Amino acid sequence: MSKLLVDEIGGNAAADTTIASGKKIAGTASQFKMTDVVQGDVLYGSAADTLSRLAPGTSGQYLQTAGAAANPTWATVAAVDNTPAWHVGMNSSTQAISDATATKVELDDVKFDTGFTWDTTNYKGTPGTAGKYLIGCFADLDYAAWGWGWVYLYKNGASQAFWGFQDNTPEDAEEGLTSVGGSTIIDLGATDYVEMFVYIDYYSGTGTIRQYDATQCVTYMSGMKLIGA
């Protein structure tokens, strides 16, 4: 086998230097270099029979294709999070509940409301962004004897979901304590508002909604916008 040792192979001004069809220049990757390539470059086909280089992007970007007949580009991952989001409880330790009357829970202790607006005077919240929301409502109830009722999630003044309980043990007529609530997914428009109500029908006695203390929030509403839903 013969060896041809040269420093440069050049063609004439009218044509490229070519390699015969079916032939190749062999060697390891480290034996070949392109003098305009730097670390982090990506080589791609920019046209028929044309190899080009895409300069490095910035840290954290990803390579995005634009499909056939288009060049790839660097793109930045869009930030996503479950906001708007909120968690609100009660400042008062108790709130009275009238018999057989839907009573709005006085949620005036905002633990957080990221991208969400909670009205601590009227006890309702507005998301500001339309989407599907996961919302939970829980109430700790203390009633003098026994009864039954529900915890409601309201949207724009109408019930969207409710969770119930029944204490039908009148023979002992002891004080009833229960925690009632649950979670659901609902659609909210940017200007829709949500509220929480409690209803109890007492067979006898009266009752209250309880908030254990500022750190142990047992009566509350919380919610967040779902990503990609």
At 112, which CATH number? 2.60.120.40
pLDDT at 10: 67
- Quote the domain boundaries for residue 44: 37-75
Verify that 127 and 197 share a domain, yes or no.
Answer: yes
What does the pLDDT read at residue 223? 97
Mean pLDDT (10-residue bins), the chain, 229 residues? 69 71 76 80 87 89 90 87 93 88 94 96 97 96 76 97 77 64 97 95 76 78 91
pLDDT of residue 170: 52
pTM of the model: 0.69
Residue 26, domain member (yes or no): no
Encoded tokens for 226 = 């779902």
What's the pLDDT score for residue 24? 77
Same domain, 65 and 112: no
User: What integer pLDDT is reported at residue 175 of this predicted model?
Assistant: 56
Residue 217: its pLDDT value, please?
80
pLDDT at 64: 92
Looking at the fold, whether 149 and 54 belong to one and the same domain comes out as: no
Q: Which of 110, 109, 111, 108 is nearest to 121 (CA)?
A: 108
Asked if 55 and 138 sit in the same domain, the reply is: no
Predicted local distance difference test score (pLDDT) of residue 220: 95
In this structure, the answer to whether residues 139 and 71 fall within a common structural domain is no
Q: Which of 14, 48, 75 is the C-terminal boundary of a domain?
A: 75
* 96, HSE (Cβ side, Cα atoms, 13 Å): 4
DSSP letters of the chain? ------S-----TTS-----TT------GGG---TT--TT-EEEEEETTEEEEEPP--TT-EEE---TTS--EEEPPPP----SEEEEE-SSSEEEE-TT--EE----EEEEEET-EEETTTTEEE-SS-EEEEEEEEEEEEESSEEEEEEEEEETTEEEEEEEEEE--TTT-PPEEEEEEEEEEEEE-TT--EEEEEEEEEEES-EEEE---SSS--SEEEEEEPTT-
Alpha carbon distance 56, 181 (integer Å): 53
Number of domains present in the structure of the chain: 2
